[in-house]
Amino acid sequence: MTNISYVHGASAEPLIGSTIGAYFDAVCARHAGGEALVVSHQGARLSYAALRDEVDRLACGLIRLGLQSGDRVGIWSQNNLEWVLTQFATAKAGLVMVNINPAYRRAELEYALNKVGCRALILAPSFKASNYLEIISDLAPELARSTPGRLRSSRLPQLEMVIRLGEEVSAGMFNFDSLRTPASAAELEALQARGALLQFDDPINIQFTSGTTGAPKGATLSHHNILNNGYFIGEAMRLTSADRLCIPVPLYHCFGMVLGNLACLTHGAAMIFPGEGFDPLATLQTVEAERCTGLHGVPTMFISMLDHPEFARFDLSRLRTGIMAGSPCPVEVMKRVVAQMHMAEVTIAYGMTETSPVSFQSSTDDPLELRVSTVGRIQPHVEVKIVDSEGRIVPRGATGELLTRGYSVMLGYWGDEARTREAIDVAGWMHTGDLATLDAAGYCNIVGRLKDMVIRGGENVYPREIEEFLYRHPKVQDVQVVGVPDPKYGEELCACIIVRAGEKLSEQEVRDFCTGQIAHYKIPRYIRLVDSFPMTITGKIQKYLMRDQMKRELGLSEEKTA
């Protein structure tokens, strides 16, 4: 049957049967003289040969501390050279790198470190308003009187080693640079011997999902998961060793470390980092100065660059590709990126942390109308089906929950068998919680989140459809639509709008714009003009916080009248 919502990425291109470390060594040898890494804000510039040398030094330094294959090593830092070195060094040493959100505070850090049993933690001194050294010292006051590497903390019982970035010395901590001293021939030989024992299905990375309810879950990913996903993402972008990819998205997230670093590594391309965190001006400056051919970002990042007052003065003509992902990509924003940023081959990617992360991606030669209205087609070696509330596959074009299966599905949630089984069923399907449709040609459209769908008086309303319509208004810079409680209809729509700089917009203008263009029940009852949206550090809109905020502002409750 071809009319059911099921697709599989049949491909003549085989999966990579290798660990990240072994693949890394081969790429560094093949592209030894090519530029591998540029970190603009640190003035760092490494060839692939130099990158391998630095990674090997760090891997040997970590082993020198007594870390064993399978030990968990947390990294709590903004984007920098040290983060990239840690990603590849832990992989070569068989250590499991645990990505800790730079926005985490004391309680979240304590939970993450204890949940996965981190034996070591690499951390920056601070980032933005967070003083990481103060937080870890408050959490583990025993550091002040500990010998480095011998921490015994009552609140962090499994943490033994804290490794800090920077030149200053902190009591009880190692300095990161002390681990980068030249390795002996014997140490390098031992590193290679350890690498030869690793298997590509071994866990290599733990990423905590942001979790809108309950404690964050540690999605556990293998070499096989993320190395292959990075490779096929790069293939969809047509990356080569001549490409230079600007990566302003966070490394702690799959967007930075897989869609960015591993897509580049697998193609011998250059990884270019414009700053510690996203800054529109620094990103534009880096794209021009480093002659970048690719640029990644979430929609809000692209909006910030396009609307920057100095945008027009930058030469972005070498750009051709990149990925817009992380949250639904507004059609109008996509069109501006193609037209004004020269990114004619920009692609859209869709996925989730638990699937390494990409399941669908558009091609560089897909017609623009498909690239701006869908998330592309299935990635190689991945299966997807769309099912109704009873688990039955729906016909093509019908809306249902998207399920995915294949090499990219995580090993599970670390130390949480029950939640793993809730997410991955007995047939191996990962339940994404996303509502989607598949057309006759296999292009996927993400309609929204299962939990975001608004049911107004028995009508299913998908906020994204209304958002896409409101983006057409010339005064609307950004918009998000959420459902709020209503005693008569169960739920009503609330549109939160950021108005373009220098423009004025009234609620009535918005309603007039909708009237006669979309069904009456899709016209938001409530319209709020806001300055910003609550979002994660990766740029994902936190709609549950928006809902709570709007409920408070509007004086609404979940109670319904009889």
For residue 35, pLDDT over 80 is answered with yes
Minimum mean pLDDT range among 207-216, 271-280, 321-330:
207-216
Nearest CA to 411 among 260, 224, 227?
A: 224
Q: Return the CATH fold of 52-208.
A: Rossmann fold (3.40.50)
Which range among 172-181, 182-191, 363-372 shows the weakest confidence by mean pLDDT? 363-372
Q: What is the DSSP letter of 531?
A: S
Query: Among 202, 194, 261, which residue's Cα sits nearest to residue 233?
Result: 261
Least confident of 239-243, 309-313, 329-333: 329-333
Give pLDDT, residue 108.
87
Q: What would the pLDDT profile of 418-435 be if each residue is shown by its tens digit?
A: 999 999 999 999 999 898
pLDDT tens profile 468-520: 889 999 999 999 999 998 887 788 999 999 999 999 999 999 999 999 888 78
Structure tokens that stand for 489 in this block = 């209809």
- Domain(s) of CATH 3.40.50.12780: residues in the chain: 52-208
Q: What is the pLDDT of residue 382?
A: 98
Q: Which of 426, 359, 419 is nearest to 391 (CA)?
A: 426
- For residue 258, the model assigns a pLDDT of 98
Confidence label for 557 from pLDDT (cuts 50, 70 and 90): confident
**Which two structure tokens, joined as six digits, stand for 531?**
């300055």
Global pTM reads 0.86
CA distance 194 to 361: 35
pLDDT single digits (tens) 188-240:
999 999 999 999 999 999 999 864 445 789 999 999 999 999 999 999 999 99
Query: Which band of pLDDT confidence, cut at 50, 70 and 90, is reported for residue 404?
Result: very high
Average the pLDDT over 74-98 and give the result: 98
Average pLDDT over residues 315-344: 90
The structure tokens listed for 359 are 């399941």
- Range 381-408 average pLDDT: 96
Question: What is each CA distance from 73 to 100, 120, 136, 363, in whole angstroms?
Answer: 10, 5, 15, 36
Query: What confidence score (pLDDT) does residue 298 get?
Result: 86
Residue 452 CA, chain-centre distance (Å), reads 20
Cis peptide before 534 (omega within 30 of 0): no
User: Is it the case that residue 267 has pLDDT exceeding 60?
Assistant: yes
In CATH terms, the fold of domain 456-554 is GMP Synthetase; Chain A, domain 3 (3.30.300)
Does the structure show a pLDDT above 90 at 327? no
**Contacts (Cβ under 8 Å, ≥6 apart) of 560:** 485, 487, 490
The per-residue pLDDT for 213 is 43
Average pLDDT over the chain reads 93
Between CA 299 and CA 282 the distance in angstroms is: 17
- The pLDDT of 401-411, averaged and rounded, is 98
Q: What percent of the chain has pLDDT over 70?
A: 97
Is pLDDT at 405 greater than 60 in this prediction? yes
3-state secondary structure 51-82: HHHHHHHHHHHHHHCCCCCCCEEEEECCCCHH
Average pLDDT, stretch 440-452?
87
Q: At what angle do helices 132-139 and 106-116 cross, to 10 degrees?
A: 60
At residue 136, the pLDDT reads 98
pLDDT of residue 9: 98
**Which regions of the chain carry the CATH code 3.30.300.30?**
456-554
pLDDT of residue 103: 83
The mean pLDDT of 378-392, rounded to a whole number, is 96
Write out the DSSP string of 149-165: T----SSSTT--EEEE-
